[in-house]
Amino acid sequence: MRILIGTDIRATGLQDGWSAESRLARALAGTHDVHVARPAAARRAPTVPTLPGTVEHTVWSMPLAGHRHRRISVPIGLHRRAGDLLDRIRPDVVHVLGQLPLCRALITAARDRGIAVVATSHITPEALIAGLPVGEGGRAVAHEWLWRRAARSLARADAVTAPTPYVAALVTLAGIRPVHVVSTGVDLTRFRPGIATAAFRARHGITAGPIIGFVGRLDPDKGLDVLIRALPTVRAQVDARLLLVGDGDSRARLQALAGRLGVAEHVVFTGLLPDDELPAAYATMTVFATAGTNHLRAGALLEAMASGRAVVGAHAAAVPGLVRAGLTGLLFPPDDADALAARLVELLADPVRAAALGLHARALAEQHDQHLTVAGFEQIYRSVDSRPMRGAHR
């Protein structure tokens, strides 16, 4: 089957292999002809294939307002570009991972040509408006407008999916039914317990001892300041270090905060990592921690859990669906650095318990094997591609 995956946002603070479209494309590429349409890494950057086994198509891009390390497509000429792409690729199914300009243009072009459309909602207006400097009133207006536009786009798809029950509930509240839950999935062969870490530690100057880790964009919506504010309290009881893998708008601010709190020498910023270093990064961690309140796909959480790592996470968004308190990790109230520190000490001071939670985390991650994700989407693709009345609106 020939599949075109479209996405609206390109995060330049992440390796290409970490994004939603990359994970899905890589999982499908083994048995399908996969094409990916997304914003370019720079304004008019040429197409440079970065996703193994797929064909990549880029469109002109510009920075997303309030997010220096995230890029969105330039709206000018987008509908023509989307139509040209579909005429050249002739996909059986168009699968969009968003509801902003590029994905909306792909939906319109697909509808005009009678091509089946699957739409996945994996980013909500809450995450997009987090960095907008428009005040609470402006954010409320933007929130309502973005949800209205998103619902309108989703309603034009032949099938709608969400990566977690939490996102499915949000989309249902927006008036879209039915919504199929299909996990982001995780590569259980890449991310597993027992990965060697000595070379990774040496390369990044990570000394022996307990490690609190995070993987993802270093952006305001990830709540990483809460992690750094918790570190002095943790270190008063456990000789732990914090490992932050990724890059983003908040990096300089987080480094300055660590300096003010006197823990700068105990925080390791790796910057962007090659994909082949990522399994060792997770294996280096004693626990994976996240204070973000907008987790929707939970891709990094699943990778950490597949690596056999317990998770300490904020009780918000999709996190409680994976972090079963006392079984696969521990939860804490959002934005509460003291509570986060207490949970971290609870596990770091008891490595036997942390390891036991990690084993349960691995078992839960096995329910999200990427092969199950591929099978789920394949079933949906076959269903929508065989419908005789694909053009009917929801």
> Span 137-145, mean pLDDT?
74
Same fold, 2-185+369-385 and 198-368: yes
- Are the beta carbons of 392 and 363 closer than 8 angstroms? no
The percent of residues above 90 in pLDDT, for the chain, comes to: 73
Question: How far is the C-alpha of 11 from the C-alpha of 98, rounded, in Å?
Answer: 14
ω into 49 cis (within 30 of 0): no
Provide the CATH number for the domain formed by 198-368 in this structure.
3.40.50.2000
Condensed to tens digits (0 to 9), the pLDDT of residues 201-254 reads: 999 999 999 999 999 989 888 999 999 999 999 999 999 999 999 998 899 999
346 Cα distance to chain centroid: 27
Options 3.40.50.2000, 3.40.190.180, 3.40.50.150, 2.40.160.10; CATH for 2-185+369-385 is: 3.40.50.2000
173/345: higher pLDDT: 345
The reported pLDDT for the residue numbered 391 is 43
Going by pLDDT thresholds of 50, 70 and 90, the confidence category of residue 130 is: low
Burial class (CB in 10 A: 0-12, 13-18, 19+), 79: middle
253 Cα distance to chain centroid: 22
Residue 184: is its pLDDT beyond 70?
yes
The reported pLDDT for the residue numbered 125 is 63
Strand, helix or coil at 97?
coil
Burial class (CB in 10 A: 0-12, 13-18, 19+), 232: middle
List the domain boundaries for the chain. Answer: 2-185+369-385, 198-368
253/146: higher pLDDT: 253
Neighbours of 90 (CB within 10 A): 11
Residue whose structure tokens are 């996240």: 290
Question: Which regions of 19-66 does DSSP assign to beta strands (E)?
Answer: 33-39, 55-59, 61-64
Of 118, 119, 50, the C-alpha closest to 274 is 50
Highest-scoring range by mean pLDDT, 129-133, 232-236, 387-391:
232-236
What are the Cα distances from residue 148, in Å, to 71, 78, 111, 141, 207?
22, 21, 20, 11, 50
Sign of the dihedral through C-alpha 205, 210, 214, 219: negative
Phi, psi angles (nearest 5°) of residue 72: -130, 155
> Span 263-287, mean pLDDT?
96
Sign of the dihedral through C-alpha 280, 281, 285, 289: negative
The percent of residues above 70 in pLDDT, for the chain, comes to: 90
Question: How far is the C-alpha of 2 from the C-alpha of 90, rounded, in Å?
Answer: 8
Question: How far is the C-alpha of 354 from the C-alpha of 194, rounded, in Å?
Answer: 15
Give this prediction's pTM.
Answer: 0.91
- Are the beta carbons of 9 and 63 closer than 8 angstroms? no
> Span 12-21, mean pLDDT?
67
Residue whose structure tokens are 């601010």: 253
Question: How far is the C-alpha of 331 from the C-alpha of 334, rounded, in Å?
Answer: 9
Residue whose structure tokens are 């946002």: 9
What is the rounded average pLDDT for all residues in the chain?
Answer: 90
Phi, psi angles (nearest 5°) of residue 292: -65, 145
